[in-house]
Amino acid sequence: MLKKKKTQKPKISVITVVYNAEKTLERCFKSLYKQKNLSYEHIVIDGGSTDNTIKIINKYKHKIKYWISEKDKGIYDAFNKGMKYTTGEYIGFLNSDDQYSSKAFFYLNRYIKKYPNSDFIFGAVKKHWGILYGYRPHKIFWSWGFYSSHSTGFFIKKKAAKIVGKYNLKYKYSSDYDYFFRMIVKHKLKGVGTKKNELFGIFGRGGFSSKIDFYDHFKEEIKIRQWSK
């Protein structure tokens, strides 16, 4: 009697965008390479680093499916580059200052199985003052409090990402907000958020989003919401 083949676990494509992050990059990489429960591929997009970042990438190149180092137009341009090389069923982002929790893919696998019809998942993330968690789509019209985090916490089905499209480079500070706005409001894709104790990762201080002025964010948010009126 033939045994039934086990269903192949969904593959995750993890994109790491980096520029001059020699102090945090190895920790970031190791947090991914320790993950179990799901098969994954790692794609690294470097913006032309001048410190020891490239040495660290080369140290782990046997674990990286694809990497490139060249000047780009910023973090959102790098996200778009990385997405071109993904082959997984889901796409996730792990920025160079951040790290996954030891059970990130354990929880991710649980939600993939429990909510197979969801287009995206927001996992709980420890960020500065506490843990951000859950998914509250109604808040997207006036607040960033509708989700947990882009890096470490956000995973989207590749077929859903194709519907949303690329990160819009005309938004220098808030292209991730624009991406989510199109994803949730325009295309009405379905999502789910994890519980507070189901921690996906830790958001590091000092990254791109930590350096953005509130008013620069605010002005772009207003522009992003205009189309819905």
**Per-domain residue ranges of the chain:** 12-226
Percent of the chain with pLDDT over 90: 79
Note the pLDDT of residue 128: 82
Residue reference for tokens 């772009």: 220
Query: Looking at the predicted structure, is the pLDDT value of residue 30 above 70?
Result: yes
Note the pLDDT of residue 212: 55
Q: How confident is the model at residue 151 (pLDDT cuts 50, 70, 90)?
A: very high
Q: How confident is the model at residue 3 (pLDDT cuts 50, 70, 90)?
A: very low
Which of 98-107, 127-136, 202-211 holds the top average pLDDT?
98-107
User: Domain 12-226: which topology?
Assistant: Spore Coat Polysaccharide Biosynthesis Protein SpsA; Chain A (3.90.550)
Q: How confident is the model at residue 4 (pLDDT cuts 50, 70, 90)?
A: very low
Higher pLDDT, 128 or 48: 48
Average pLDDT, the chain: 90
- Looking at residues 118-125, what average pLDDT do you find? 98
Note the pLDDT of residue 206: 59
For the ranges 96-100, 131-135, 138-142, 205-209, which has the lowest average pLDDT? 205-209
Residue 108 contacts residue 123 (beta carbons within 8 Å): yes
Burial 171-181 (b: 16+ CB within 10 A, else e): bebbbbbbbbb
Nearest residue to 125 (alpha-carbon basis) of 209, 190, 194, 211: 194
- Looking at residues 104-129, what average pLDDT do you find? 96
CA distance 2 to 4: 6
pTM for the model stands at: 0.89
Query: Looking at the predicted structure, is the pLDDT value of residue 87 above 60?
Result: yes
Query: Looking at the predicted structure, is the pLDDT value of residue 211 above 90?
Result: no
Question: Which residues, in sequence order, are CB contacts of 116 under 8 Å at separation 6+?
Answer: none
